[in-house]
Structure formats: C-alpha cells, structure tokens
Structure 1
Amino acid sequence: MKLSQFKVLLFDVYGTLVDWETGISAALQPILAGTSLESKPAALRAFEGIEADLQVRYPEMRYSELLARVHAEMETRLRGGAELPEPAGEGGSTQATVETSSTTVGSTDVGTSASAAAAVQEQPDAHTAFGQSIAAWPIFPDTIPALAYLSTRYALTVLSNVDRASFAATQRALEGPPSAQRFTFRAVYTAEDAGAYKPDPKARAYALRRIEEELGVRSDEVLVVANSVFHDVAPSRKIGLATAWIQRAGSVVGQDEIEGGKATFKFWTLGEMADAVKREVGQA
C-alpha cells in the first residue's frame, strides 16, 4: 500500500495529535503526590484501568463527566488503600469493582464507589476541573505543521473518545482562529455522537458510515491514524481498515508492540508521516 492512495485520514486526537498523557499526569499530581502512583507511568496505568472500566459500563456518559468520576475514584481508592485496577485487555473491561463498608458497587450503580460518587458532589471543583482539563492538554510540536500539509492531500476527519464541547477548544487550537485557519477538519465524530467509546465497534462503524454519507468516501479509502493500539489500531485492523500507528516515544496508554507492529504503516511522529507522504508524491 501507499500513503497517497487514501482520500481520508481518520484521526484519533488525544495521544496522537495532543499530548494527553502529559496533560493527564500533570492534572492528577495534586492527589498523587507522595503515593505509589507519583511516577507518570504508574499514574497513567491506574488512570487507564479506571477509565476503561467506566467507558465500557457507561458508553453514553459525556467524557468530561466520566473524567471527573475517574478523578474521584482514584482519590477515593488512594485514600482508602483500595487496589487500583490494571488496564483493560483488548476487547474488554477491567471488570473492576470497589468494596465499600457494606456493599460491592456493581455495574448497575453510578460507575464509581459510593464514596467516590459522594466526592463528586462534595468537592465538585477538583473533580470537575480535572474533567474540564482537556483544553489545557498540550499539542505535540509536530502536529500542526503536519496537519497543515496533510490537509492539502487528504480530507482530515476525527473520531475521538470525547464529547463535542470538550473537543471544541482543542479543535480551535489545532485549526487556528477563523480569520487565519491553518486547515479545517472536514468532519468530527465523538463518542457522544456515536453513543459508544472506542474500541467498541459501534464507534468506528458510526464514523465510517458518516464519512461515506457526507464525504462520499468508502472505508477502503480511509486511513486510520492513531497512537493507541488498544483503542484504534488493533480494532481497525480487525475490520480490514488500513492503519498508521503513530508510536509516540514514551507512550503508556493503549500500547501493544506486537499488535502495533501489524499496522499498515508505522511512524514515530505525525511529522514523520507527513514527510513520508511528501517523498511518495515527489515533494520532499
């Protein structure tokens, strides 16, 4: 396959275009300082386990609210000394439950322990602030120049595990102000739109259907560009989509070297991918 044969790039955003791991770990520091999760990898793995569980159990929960609940749950478990879950394996939830003094919180409850749910009510500022921290997550330095070039060759689209309001600030930061836009995303699809979080197949099926309806592009002309193997690369491969794995150095969440190595294309940065396209079309 050649990169130049595709018409649409379907991007994951957080982890691929935006350094969400740095953003998340920085926002978590106030509750992690002095704990066993103080290191960035440990904090991210704990975050990943709780987030994956809630996303599977509550696919229609808005991402900003889900993030607030993840924050409350992590704080509650750290204070109570409860064991934090390992990240979900491919194709399923962590199946984590939380023991309280009298009950085990199951899938029919709020999605967090009773004390964590109460914490969201009692201390809304800290948890809500974490849920709204998406706008502050830094953009990788190669992202904007790469997107500006790639937009001259492809229709740029997004399938992201967030809600519309949360993505809006990131979209403005990437595209630039209306008076001086660097490029535009031709279509944006979120978990809120699809009613499902990746890697649930419903999320990707929703995006592909909309791309064909709105842009007239079939799935075999779509290239999925993503950092997370668990959320994007592996499930896309399973349904026959071409994939470009952006293996950002030091990434923790959703990584799998073996599965990632099966991607159609592999690059360390989006800038490297843009350079590969330039060479392919004779513009390097």
Structure 2
Amino acid sequence: MSPKLTDYKVIMFDVYGTLIDWETAIARALEPTLAGTPLASRDAALTAYCSVERDLQTRYPTMLYSEVLARVYAELEARAHNKLTPAEPSGTTAASVETSTGTVTSGTTVGSSASASEPPDAHTAFGQSIGSWAPFPDTIPALVTLSKHFKLTVLSNVDRASFAHTQHALEGPPDAPRFRFSAIYTAEDAGAYKPDPRAREYALRRVEAELGVPREQVLVVAASVAHDIQPSREVGLGTAWISRKGTQIGWDEAEGSKATFRFDTLGEMADAVEKETSGA
C-alpha cells in the first residue's frame, strides 16, 4: 500500500529554499558586487555561492551562519574582481559536538564578525540579511493548514539568532501567532551543517526525546535534494520534495524523483493533506 501523508506525525522542514525564497534574496544582494563580471548572471552567481558556502560549512561546521554568509560575500567579491582571497578565519579552537555515539572534537569555532578582523560593511550586511528574506507566497497559508494535522519542526542550516527573525515572519506576532513550530533545530545547535548526517541525527534524537515521536513518523519536507531529500531517504526517512519551479541550489531531478512524495509547492502539499483528511 502506498504511504499517505497522514501516516506521519511530525514534519521536519528545511526552511531556506523551501519556505523562504532565499535564491532571489541572495542573487539580488550579490548583484552590486558581481555586475559586469563573469559571475553576473543569476545562475553563475548562485552556482558560485553554493560552492563557496558548502566549502566553508564543511571546513568550519561550528561557524555561525551569519559569519558564513559574510565570508561567502567576501570570497565571491574577490573572485569576481581578481582580488586576493580573504584570509582564513582567526581565533579558531576545537569544538565538542554531540553525536549518537558520544561527544567528539570536531570542526572549528570561529571568532565573531565583530572582532578586529571584521569584514567590510557590505559583507556584514549580507551576513545579517537573513531576516529580510521573504517567504514564498504559498508558505504561510500552507503552514497554517499543515499545523492543524502535524507537529511542525525545523532543521535549518542557520544560527539561532538569524532564524529568530524568520520565525517571527512565519509565525506572526507572539501575542497572536498564526501557528507555532513545535521545535526548532539549527546547525548552531547540532554543531554541523546539512548534509552532514550528524545534523539530522541530532534533530531526530531531539524530536523523539522532546515530542515523543520516533523517526519512522517524521516526514522531511525540503526543496534541496542534495541537503535534505537524498540523505534523508538514504537513512530510511519519509521525504516530500517541494520541487519549486526555477530552483537551482540543491536541485537533482533524478534523486528528487525518488522521494516518498513530490509537490510543486508547499501549498500543493497542504491541499493534498486536506484532501486525505476529508476523505475526498
């Protein structure tokens, strides 16, 4: 028998790319520094962005995402204008990361962007711009609908302070929220960035401990195949690929098509849940 969406009790969302239109925000923010260079087109800018971001997240798994963004901007500016690559982060120390088998030393903790080596204002502004990235038009109505049927959780490659702005934009004001996320987990909490499996394992352990829901009843909902759908499917999790038209970062048609469910938008997924629950 084919699985149903309502077989699951918890949705674990990717946020940026799935709920938030980050590609448009990133491309627009990079336009001023990349104009007139080989990286000026949207496709070239996003491809380069993704490559630099992935490299930084792999090398520095405990670097705050706002700092990652600032350094991505600096690196792309250097590449586009044939400048020297920015210096490696200073003030690094070993960091302890919780894993399913105990605590290990992993990655690097990097000094904040407020240090003596703080990048120029344009870099810092890009790093702090996450809260201004807009939701897709269907996101909020879909989340309101889905919150009636599932516990909604987040596993995002971001830091807590940056996500707080997005959380407010999605949930609405604290005194009159549209809905509430049941749990929020970030790369800062996990000490690792997706697709590193430690990030997902951290969130799954927390969901079981805090919400009482085993992994078999967790549905991963994401636009990025590379960050979320493929690695989640490979460890046996249910997946719903939100294959938004025009998406570039993390897109993989062949692997995405192997997801448990596929929808063009989150709104389409919410409609499918309503149809299931109504018995239509």
1:152 aligns with 2:148: yes
Give the counterpart letter for 1:266 in structure 2: R
The match for 1:71 among 67, 70, 73 is: 73
Q: Which residue of 1 aligns with 2:95?
A: none
Structure ranking higher in strand proportion: 2
Give the counterpart letter for 1:33 in structure 2: A
Question: What TM-score comes out, normalization by structure 1 length?
Answer: 0.86
The match for 2:54 among 52, 58, 82 is: 52
Is the contact made by 1:57 and 1:107 (CA closer than 8 Å) also made in structure 2? Answer: no
SS at match of 2:143: helix
Structure 1 residues 107 and 167, CA, compared in 2 at 3 Å: closer, same or farther?
closer
Q: Which residue of 2 aligns with 1:272?
A: 268
SS at match of 2:71: helix
Q: Distance in 2 between matches of 1:40 and 1:138?
A: 18
Q: Distance in 1 between matches of 2:31 and 2:61?
A: 27
Q: Distance in 1 between matches of 2:243 and 2:128?
A: 26
Q: Which residue of 2 aligns with 1:61?
A: 63
Q: Distance in 2 between matches of 1:151 and 1:75?
A: 41
Is the contact made by 1:10 and 1:158 (CA closer than 8 Å) also made in structure 2? Answer: yes
Q: Distance in 1 between matches of 2:119 and 2:68?
A: 15
Q: Which residue of 2 aligns with 1:187?
A: 183
Q: Which residue of 2 aligns with 1:252?
A: 248
Q: Distance in 2 between matches of 1:81 and 1:67?
A: 18
Deviates more, 1:132-141 or 1:182-191: 132-141
Q: Distance in 2 between matches of 1:69 and 1:20?
A: 17
For structure 1, the residue ranges without an aligned partner over 5 or more in a row are 83-97, 111-116
SS at match of 2:12: strand
Give the counterpart letter for 1:30 in structure 2: P
Q: Distance in 2 between matches of 1:169 and 1:283?
A: 37
Q: Distance in 2 between matches of 1:124 and 1:283?
A: 57
Q: Which residue of 2 aligns with 1:38?
A: 40
Q: Structure 1 runs of 4+ off > 6 angstroms?
A: 105-110
When the two chains are superposed, the root-mean-square deviation of aligned CA atoms in Å is: 2.2
The match for 1:228 among 210, 213, 224 is: 224
Deviation, 1:124, is: 2.4
Is the contact made by 1:31 and 1:75 (CA closer than 8 Å) also made in structure 2? Answer: yes
Q: Which residue of 2 aligns with 1:114?
A: none
